[in-house]
Amino acid sequence: MTAKSKDELLHDHNHDGVDRRGFLKCMAWAGTGAFCVMQGGVLKSYSMSQMSQVASKVTAGQLSFVQISDSHMGFNKAANPDVVGTLKAAVDKVNALSTPAEFMLHTGDITHLSKPEEFDTVDQILKSATPKDIFYVPGEHDMLNDDGKQYLERYGKNTKGAGWFSFDKKGVHFIGLVNVLNLKAGGLGTLGHDQLEWMEDDVKHLKSSTPIVVFAHIPLWSVYPEWGWGTEDSAQALAYLKKFGSVTVLNGHIHQTMQKVEGNVTFHTAASTAFPQPEPGKAPSPGPMKVPAEQLKSVLGITDVNYVHGQHALAVVDSSLA
């Protein structure tokens, strides 16, 4: 066995693309530099140290894009007094990617308090990003006080309802969802009837071989309901995606990277560009986590996603800002 094959997991007993050992290994790496890729329905995982070996083969896909999340412009507490600086560092990271990103997704909490000047600052900083197209979904911090009116004025062009939409890029179908409005006491994130109905219709006529990327702010899987880290009606949304062979779900909200594979669906959460939050249940509350200043950039980051046409491969790579 070569050194390389030790880190490739090719067992697929259920033919569902999930290997228990591979899944656990991926989980263990999450947050420290995991690289997991679906290829021909088989989950392969590599450590970041082997990235150079696989980079040319796997990551040089036909579609490369970047996810950034939770910029919280306007936040100025101890956990990060300079969210402008760290967002700029994230943009620098995006601009330095070896495979240039064609566009960016921002998975919400663009601002901390939905203030016009906070949105303006983010827009200004993101202008220096190489990818010119940026697709947004809102976080709860972007729709404070006005049920999203201002957000929709800024980013709602070509969207439906509270800001949901879909688009296609090189054969991949992207669906941006809004799960931060009309939250009920005691509950989790919510998509709501209208959005679910739209989504069912949106994917109905797609071929099952179409790779799907769903992105939304609050995780669409139950990360930690005790802290509200989940979405009430996400099961319904995922049910509409059962026929598809490759589904990648990208979320933010929890300010840390995490990955989970369930059948045909790979769930992934991105790091924040502003401040980290504790691991589920590891603190009294999910509030901003203060780390020593010199460590801050190592717990913030961007997510780089590559799709290789014909291989059903979506490679999700997290890089810290350090």
Partner 1 sequence: MRRVVSTAVLLATTFGVAFAGLQAGAGNLTAAAQQKPDMTEVKIDNFSFGPAELKVAVGTTVTWTNRDDIPHTAVSTDKTFKSKVLDTDEKFSFTFSKPGTYEYFCSIHPKMTGKVVVQ
By the criterion CB under 8 A, which residues form the site for partner 1? 75, 77-79, 112-114, 140-141, 144-145, 183-188, 225-228, 284-288
The residue among 233 and 318 lying less far from partner 1, judged by its C-beta, is 233
What are the backbone angles phi and psi of residue 197, rounded to the nearest 5°? -65, -45
How buried is 12 (Cβ within 10 angstroms: 0-12 exposed, 13-18 middle, 19+ buried)? middle
Q: Smallest gap, in angstroms, from Cβ of residue 136 to partner 1? A: 18
Amino acid letter, 285: S
Distance of CA 167 to the CA centre of its chain: 17
Q: Smallest gap, in angstroms, from Cβ of residue 121 to partner 1? A: 17
Residue 225 backbone zone (phi > 0: left; psi -120 to 50: alpha; other: beta): alpha
Q: Smallest gap, in angstroms, from Cβ of residue 190 to partner 1? A: 9
Q: Smallest gap, in angstroms, from Cβ of residue 144 to partner 1? A: 5
Q: Smallest gap, in angstroms, from Cβ of residue 106 to partner 1? A: 19
CB 37 within 8 A of CB 145: no
CB 312 within 8 A of CB 292: no
Q: Cα separation of 230 and 190, whole Å? A: 9
